[in-house]
Structure 1
Amino acid sequence: MTGLEHFARLKQQVLSEYRKHYPYSGADWKSFSSQDIQNLIALIEDNLRETVSEKWVYTHLKPAENEKLPRKDMLDIFSRFCGYSGWDEFSHEPAAIQPKKKFRIWFLILGIGLLLTTILLVVFSDRAQPAKQIKVTDQYTGKPLPAEDVKVFEADPVGEKPLQMQEGSVVVPGEAKTTLVVKSPYYKTKKVVVDPKSNTTEIKVTPNDQAMMLKAFMQSDIKDWETRKVQLDKILSNDLEVIIMLKNNLGAEYFNKQEFAQKLIIPTPSLRQYKIIEITHGADQKIQFIRMAQQ
């Protein structure tokens, strides 16, 4: 294909590019009005920061046929207007191929679309993780812990948010890693990180022997008070402090080791109405502090 043939093709593409901005303009260069020429010159100035004279358009673009090829600097301007890097790229590209500007736009749109799709897939793949149901069980018996004996918290930098237990289980969101803290007056505190992509479905907690014995003493009938006295002396610290919160906001009662042990050695029916809320152990692992509430 000769240079003039390439120029004839360029003129048609310039016309097509112009119609994108002014769709109701003339169908060909012959019907291209003086106002169209002014519009075209303005487009080139705005988009390319280049200047084209009205005379040049009349001399080289308006004619149906051209006898000679225009200067290369002008060919570069109109090639760039059609989306090419310049005349060299345009004239070496087969006529059947559309301007690269269109392809660049489509590739840009396609690239952005693929990027957004990837981001959405990553985000929603995490969010799509279903909520996890985690059982809280006794390490030795394997039985679920009753809700009245244990509390589960979701830990974050701000603090701990309590989670509701139902039938020995808690439900945690599946979006991201969650740190769970299991607390109980009868079991050792345990912290577990639950990953939504892991197979974690159970948290096993270790019972505190002294606390479990204390619970048994409060709920069982007396059989051998001498044996119970010896056992209590082994698990209760000499500096034991016991606070019992009375119901109806009537205040609290305070007991030392001797006073509290006496209540347990010969228990009364009212003792079973007390619920242990908090137990603290000393360095010797003996129970040093007990907080209870009257039910």
Structure 2
Amino acid sequence: MTELELFYQLKNIVLEQYQKSYPFYTGNWKNFSSQDILNLIDDIQQKTKQTVSEKWIYTHLKPEVNVKLPRKDMLDILCAYIEETQWDAYKFKAIPISSTVEEKRDILPKKIQKKNVVLGLIGIALIIGLCLTWIVFSRKHNSIQLQNSYTKDSISKQDVKAYVIEDSIERPIDLNQAANEITVPTKVVVRSPFYEKKQVIISPNNPITAIELKPNDYALMLKAFMKSDIKDWQTRKEQLQKILSDDLEVIVLLPNDLGAEYFNKNEFSKKLIVPTPSLKKMKIVSVQLDSSNKISFLRIAHEE
């Protein structure tokens, strides 16, 4: 195992360590947000008494491919974060494993080694064939990506709905399907409870590969409250006072079409301050803001 391969392994363990402190995060380095980066910097500082910069994380941890190994002093910090003494000690644990593998490989009969080489070549040929097929397919079938306009992180299509406007009537569509089937310039509206509404024109002569959406910060904070484990009740209570309107109305749609429940600000805040497992299974489907940009109305449904 090379040092660069060990670094990839270390990155995965660092992410697992981060999720111990922030168990509500279930993503990977690719969709690691700017807030997650700030959380990680704070967590590393608390556990190691040392610091890393946002730029360093963007340069070395977020990329899927690393072309070179970071400085040893930074690797030592990451190792300390995962409760290893230093990078050299981390490498030392991996060396016997890789050496044993090489020794076993050396004593394999030559016929078996030759067979493995042939199988490896066949596997490489299959991978190349699949990649070429994907390239040809992707050229024929466009895909529209949704991105946070600030962080450029991908946005889940589950949180976004798209509509084609025809004669002042909105018709729901699938964005990827629209990218392939629209034959004339068409007005499309993208809506989400967590992002501001965006209107775009999709045209076969001017294809769109990405749509950037401006986040609704308070709605995203509320989503995090509903999905995360409680850490500081008092802090959460104070934050809720800032983002929720005093006239807040909350409608919770009951499953199986059994009706709906109503909550005011005080009642809903109590549910968020001490969240329950059932709260984590709910999702925000509609958000409205008042004149001061505080959340004044919420519609919530149970996730299937």
- TM value normalised by structure 2: 0.51
1:196 is displaced (CA, Å) by: 2.1
Counterpart residue identity of residue 174, structure 2: Q
Q: Structure 1 residue 199: deviation in Å? A: 4.6
Shift in alpha-carbon separation, 1:144–1:163, aligned structure 2, 3 A: farther
**Cα RMSD, aligned residues only:** 2.1
Q: Are the aligned partners of 1:178 and 1:193 in contact in 2 as well (CA < 8 Å)?
A: yes
Q: Secondary structure at 2:164's aligned position in 1?
A: strand
Partner of 1:183: 191
AA matched with 1:217: F
Q: 1:253 aligns with which of 253, 261, 270?
A: 261
Pairing partner for 1:213 from 221, 237, 240: 221
Given the alignment of the two structures, is residue 268 of structure 1 paired with residue 276 of structure 2, yes or no?
Answer: yes
Match of 1:76 in 2: none
Alignment of 1:11-30 (within 5 A): none
Correspondence for 1:223 among 222, 231, 237: 231
Counterpart residue number, 1:140: 150
For 1:155-195, what per-residue CA distance to the aligned partner results, in whole angstroms no more than 9, with x for missing partners?
A: 121411111256xx863534110111110000001001123
Q: Residue 200 of structure 2: SS of its match in structure 1?
A: strand
In 1: Cα distance, 2:202 partner to 2:286 partner: 26
Counterparts of residues 77-156 of structure 1 (less than 5 Å): 132-156=142-166
Contact 2:147 2:211 in 1 (8 A): yes
1:240 offset after TM fit, Å? 0.1
In structure 2, the residue corresponding to 1:213 is in which secondary structure? helix
1:192–1:165 Cα change, 3 Å:
closer
Identity score, percent: 46
2:253–2:261: 8 Å Cα contact kept in structure 1?
Answer: yes
Partner of residue 160, structure 1:
170
Distance 1:285 1:223 in 2: 26
* Secondary structure class of the residue paired with 1:197: coil
**2:181 corresponds to:** 173
Alpha-carbon distance change, 291 to 175 in structure 1, aligned in 2, over 3 angstroms:
same
Structure 1 residues 196, 281: closer, same or farther in 2, change over 3 A?
same
Paired amino acid for 2:171 = K
* CA gap 1:266/1:236 in 2 versus in 1, 3 angstroms: same
Amino acid at match of 2:186: T
Q: Secondary structure at the match of 2:205?
A: coil
Which residue of structure 2 lines up, in the alignment, with residue 195 of structure 1? 203
CA contact (8 A) 1:154 1:181 kept: yes
More helix by share: 2
Partner of 1:279: 287
Evaluate the alpha carbon distance shift between residue 241 and residue 275 of structure 1 in structure 2; reply closer, same or farther with a 3 A threshold. same
Give the conservation status (yes or no) of the 8 Å contact 1:131–1:173: no
Cα separation, 2, equivalents of 1:199 and 1:179: 13
Distance 2:300 2:155 in 1: 19
Q: Which runs of 5+ in 1 are unaligned?
A: 1-129
Contact 2:179/2:202, CA 8 A, preserved across alignment: no
Deviations along 1:209-267, one digit per CA (max 9) or x if unpaired, are 00000000000000001000010000000000000000012111100000000100110
**Alignment partner of 1:176: what SS?**
coil
Structure 1: distance between partners of 2:238 and 2:175: 37
SS in structure 2 of the partner of residue 152 of structure 1: strand
CA apart distance, 1:141? 2.8
- Match of 1:175, SS state, is coil
TM-score between the two structures when normalised by the length of structure 1: 0.53
Once residues 289 and 275 of structure 1 are traced to their aligned partners in structure 2, the CA distance between those partners, rounded to angstroms, is: 14
Q: Does 1:242 align with 2:253?
A: no
Instruction: Return closer, same or farther for 1:171/1:144 CA change in 2, 3 Å cut-off.
Output: farther
State the Cα deviation string for residues 68-123 of structure 1 (Å, max 9, x = none): xxxxxxxxxxxxxxxxxxxxxxxxxxxxxxxxxxxxxxxxxxxxxxxxxxxxxxxx
Asked if structure 2 preserves the Cα contact closer than 8 Å seen for 1:222 and 1:265, the reply is yes
Give the structure, 1 or 2, with the largest relative contact order (CA under 8 Å, sep 6 or more).
2
Larger Rg over CA atoms: 1
